Structure 1
Amino acid sequence: MKPIQKMGLVLLMLTLILAGCGESSSKPNGETANKGDKVKLTVWHNFAGDDLRAKTVRSFIDQFAQDNPDVELDAQAIPVDGYRQRLSTVAAANELPDLMFVYAGSHSAELYKADLLQPITDVLDQNPEWRDKFLQGAFDPFTFKEKEVYTAPLAMSATSILYYNTTLFEKHGVKVPTTWEEMMTAIKVFNDNGVTPIALGNKAPWVAQSTIIGSLADRVTGTEWFKNASEQKGAKFTDPEFVEALGYFKQLVDNKAFQEGANSIDNTQAEQYFIQGNAAMMVSGAWTLTNLASSASEEQMKNIDVTVLPSIPGGKGDPNTISGGAGGGLALSKRTEGAAREAALKLIYTVSGPEAQKAIAESNSMVMYDTDIDQAKVTSLYYKAFNLVKKTGITPVYDAYLTAEAGEAINNGLQEIMMGGTPESVAKKLQDAQARSTAQ
């Protein structure tokens, strides 16, 4: 064969190879796809409600789909009450979606320990002006390896704000309680006058745990004791101080602080019961700010103020605190690779980037991000809570540190106390569950 013929053959082969390369692109999980095929991306989240925050987050997911026509996005909004269990089911089968909303603490930690997640550090490093405006501690619950971050939080979790109706307190001459004795007095006066002292919707049993017991128990035991008990290092949930903490919750029950049937109504129903003036107080999280912003009038909300739970006599914990921390965010499945991974990181930035953080804050939801908001877009109640949280310390939410089994034990245990169970029995069940699951 002549040299010129050989050269022509080589060029032809190169042309065919390059053409073949141009016909493919990366598919999710490292597979290849023909040119023009859409990248498939799945995302699960629990922003399924009609509250402003849920609508805001969904709007950014929808905007991503609109701005990225090359991505075939399967976004599933799953109600909060069933979300964690559904995610656990697919995690057990190693069939997680590409992106999933995870909670700070044990939820995301357990997925990491099961080797189901991968870090998102590179998208943070690619956008340092965004990364550096998160508040101090925002990434702490999601940093499982040194300098490797697994989630960018969408919110700040403040779970034990004491909301109170100023009109009812003034009408019945009740002092806003700052001590446990004052709380017991308030409960008696309101009951004597036919007003429910504290609205509670504990049908989904995480509510009493997240909003009341974490903050109440911290006032008794102090934070260090709880962390030691969670790690089963030098402290146990059967210790006298924790039994005492559960005893304070039982005092609320025994003194009829909550309305009848509190274990059979949900948190949203309790919020409506409270805002309509049927209860003097409600202990709830920052999510109530968002929910009321979409369901209550400004006239109703201007009569509501916020504070912290009262102090406990002889307690070891700081009384000027609220349980909470960094809220959840979108985490990335370890199985997601190639173009799907790139699309997933882009969606994470879209949903938790500067524009989204501002919009979420303006939906009357706390964020772990330094952003300016338009005061005209938020409620008067949100501003009150925002200023309160800035002046208080943050203590752990129990289920953010307990194992899933132990979290279920305390959730169900508080329901048991509300139905006549004893603090000692519940403390033992919690201790047994935490000891058993941390030993595995």
Structure 2
Amino acid sequence: MFKPGKALLAVFAVAATVLTGCGDDAADNANELRLWHYEGPDSAMGKAWAAAIKEFEDTHPGVKVKFEEKGFEQIQKSAQMVLNSDEAPDIMEYNKGNATAGLLSKQGLLTDMSSEVASRGWDKLLSESLQTTCKYDERGVMGGDKWFGVPNYAEYTMVYYNKDLFAQHGVEVPTSFDSFVAAMDKFVAAGVTPLAMGGKEYPAQQLLYQLALSKADSKWVSNLQQYTGDVDFHDEAWTYGAQTFADWVSKGYVKKDSAGVDAESMGLAFMGGEFPMMVSGSWWYGRVQSTVKDFEWDSFLFPGSDLALGSSGNLWVVPTKSSKKDLAYDFIDITMKQANQNLLGNSGGIPVAADPAAITDPKSKTLIENYQTLADRDGLAFYPDWPVPGYYDVLVSATQKLINGTATPDEALDELAGPYEENLANVGG
């Protein structure tokens, strides 16, 4: 999955030393643990991991914490080069899926953590569905037998909505796909664009995939994501998704200039009260919760679909070049502890090992309950960019063309089919 486009990559340099009195900077650097993550400080994960860093410092005498800021897009494009150099961190948050963590595992850039996972009991805290994105085979395909990452949260996409704008325009909260479309028609009739959208980054491609998912099933997802069967980009699901996406643009549900809007601007527009709805992920939840003060808001599962984009959260991975693996595992362990999990849950995140009774915030309870609804019906369908390295950019291009009207739905689907089929031949799927 992809996180908000302008979320910051925080790179924490943690110096863990034994006090020998030598005062040698070189010795300090030799014991340094470098930790990267790209969550904003006001996100649920940012808050929980800040607390984890403090606990790490308290339990590891002599630790110093430093950080530098980088963009998510930058680390997406440079991870392979950085992890294959002396600049590699000792632990980092990284995107899960075949095209990212899977590719790095195949290239030998990530540590196989299988024995550590078993000895520390992390496997006991993660459901089978969440484990899928942690484990990869020799091809770098998820669902394999070796652990290359550990998530401490889960995520899914939903519809955020502005309750005040719904009330102002007399629009009922949708409970079905038809009522969802009717709600958008009512907003358009009142001169209001219903959906905040960012076509420059992940949001538009995720809506395209969600529309396709509404006509798909779990076998369709497995075929696409894990290469377990034939994939046809002109089947009923993909055709419906692309055609409906294009129709929504032409009907005014999505602004035609949104092709140049990034994810951060989309989120800011929704949080600023400019749009009634935003279809996006739980990674926004804590930020919306802490930012929106001028209107009432809530969320609901995408109507008319048993499937939604979702999975485990991004992974804690330990680069092969890390020389401080034990310290990295200690940090992961703290983020898996119940106290940190409870904090994450009450801050607008979806914990994997919290005490349900300890989640007291009402909106956080709704978030977690809706996630459980999806998980219980095997409704987590991963993300569209996962199957192919570099597919994110392909999807951005195709959906921008649908927004701009420079490609037909069939042409956009042809654009998706080529790289997928080429990659399938490479992985032996």
TM-score by length of 2: 0.81
| Preserved contact between residue 196 and residue 259 of structure 1 (Cα < 8 Å) | yes
2:353 paired residue number: 369
Name the SS for the 1:251 alignment partner.
helix
Could you list the per-position Cα deviations for residues 292-314 of structure 1 after superposition, in whole angstroms to 9, with x for gaps in the alignment? 122122x73xx323222232xxx
Could you list the per-position Cα deviations for residues 349-376 of structure 1 after superposition, in whole angstroms to 9, with x for gaps in the alignment? 1233333222221221112224346455
Which whole-Å CA distance do the structure 1 matches of 2:257 and 2:57 have between them? 43
1:335 paired residue number: 321
| Preserved contact between residue 159 and residue 278 of structure 2 (Cα < 8 Å) | yes
Candidates 411, 421, 427, aligned match of 2:413: 427
| Preserved contact between residue 41 and residue 73 of structure 1 (Cα < 8 Å) | no
Larger Cα-atom Rg: 1
Name the SS for the 2:365 alignment partner.
helix
| Preserved contact between residue 43 and residue 98 of structure 1 (Cα < 8 Å) | yes
The one-letter code of the counterpart of 2:183 is A
2:110 is the alignment partner of 1:117: yes
2:220 paired residue number: 225
2:94 is the alignment partner of 1:102: yes
2:400 paired residue number: 415
Which whole-Å CA distance do the structure 2 matches of 1:373 and 1:250 have between them? 44
2:251 is the alignment partner of 1:269: no
TM-score by length of 1: 0.79
2:278 paired residue number: 282
2:377 is the alignment partner of 1:385: no
Candidates 30, 34, 46, aligned match of 1:54: 46
1:158 paired residue number: 156
1:314 paired residue number: none
Residue pairs, 1:243-258, within 5 angstroms: 243-258=239-254
Moved more, 380-389 or 65-74: 65-74
Which ranges in structure 2 are unaligned for 5 or more consecutive residues?
1-16, 19-24, 138-143
1:176 paired residue number: 173
Q: CA deviation at 1:268?
A: 3.6
| Preserved contact between residue 206 and residue 411 of structure 1 (Cα < 8 Å) | yes
Name the SS for the 1:237 alignment partner.
coil
Give aligned pairs, total: 392
Q: CA separation of 1:35/1:402 partners in 2, compared to 1, >3 Å: closer, same or farther?
A: closer
Which whole-Å CA distance do the structure 1 matches of 2:63 and 2:367 have between them? 39
Could you list the per-position Cα deviations for residues 12-47 of structure 1 after superposition, in whole angstroms to 9, with x for gaps in the alignment? xxxxxxxxxxxxx99xxxxxx999885122222212
2:335 paired residue number: 351
Residue pairs, 1:390-405, within 5 angstroms: 390-392=372-374, 393=377, 394-399=379-384, 401-405=386-390
Q: CA separation of 1:34/1:168 partners in 2, compared to 1, >3 Å: closer, same or farther?
A: closer
2:292 is the alignment partner of 1:296: yes
Percentage identity across paired residues of the two chains: 20
- Aligned-pair RMSD on alpha carbons? 3.0
Which ranges in structure 1 are unaligned for 5 or more consecutive residues?
1-24, 27-32, 312-318
2:424 paired residue number: 438
The one-letter code of the counterpart of 1:214 is Y
Name the SS for the 2:318 alignment partner.
strand
Q: CA deviation at 1:266?
A: 3.3
Which whole-Å CA distance do the structure 1 matches of 2:209 and 2:380 have between them? 8
Which whole-Å CA distance do the structure 2 matches of 1:433 and 1:232 have between them? 17
| Preserved contact between residue 177 and residue 310 of structure 1 (Cα < 8 Å) | yes
Q: CA deviation at 1:124?
A: 3.1
Candidates 28, 31, 35, aligned match of 1:43: 35
2:306 is the alignment partner of 1:310: no
Name the SS for the 2:233 alignment partner.
coil
Q: CA deviation at 1:414?
A: 0.9
Q: CA separation of 1:335/1:186 partners in 2, compared to 1, >3 Å: closer, same or farther?
A: same
2:211 paired residue number: 216
Name the SS for the 1:158 alignment partner.
strand
Q: CA separation of 1:111/1:309 partners in 2, compared to 1, >3 Å: closer, same or farther?
A: same
Q: CA separation of 1:56/1:343 partners in 2, compared to 1, >3 Å: closer, same or farther?
A: same
Which whole-Å CA distance do the structure 2 matches of 1:427 and 1:36 have between them? 53
| Preserved contact between residue 199 and residue 399 of structure 2 (Cα < 8 Å) | no
The one-letter code of the counterpart of 1:187 is M
Could you list the per-position Cα deviations for residues 239-286 of structure 1 after superposition, in whole angstroms to 9, with x for gaps in the alignment? 454122211111111111124532333334333433443322211111
| Preserved contact between residue 83 and residue 89 of structure 2 (Cα < 8 Å) | no
| Preserved contact between residue 194 and residue 276 of structure 2 (Cα < 8 Å) | yes
| Preserved contact between residue 385 and residue 391 of structure 2 (Cα < 8 Å) | no
Q: CA deviation at 1:179?
A: 4.2
Name the SS for the 2:108 alignment partner.
coil
| Preserved contact between residue 150 and residue 331 of structure 1 (Cα < 8 Å) | yes
Could you list the per-position Cα deviations for residues 192-251 of structure 1 after superposition, in whole angstroms to 9, with x for gaps in the alignment? 212221112333x212223x2232211123332243244284222244541222111111
| Preserved contact between residue 134 and residue 370 of structure 1 (Cα < 8 Å) | no
2:6 paired residue number: none
Name the SS for the 2:351 alignment partner.
coil
Residue pairs, 1:230-245, within 5 angstroms: 230=225, 231=227, 233-245=229-241
Q: CA separation of 1:53/1:341 partners in 2, compared to 1, >3 Å: closer, same or farther?
A: closer
1:323 paired residue number: 309
Q: CA deviation at 1:113?
A: 0.8
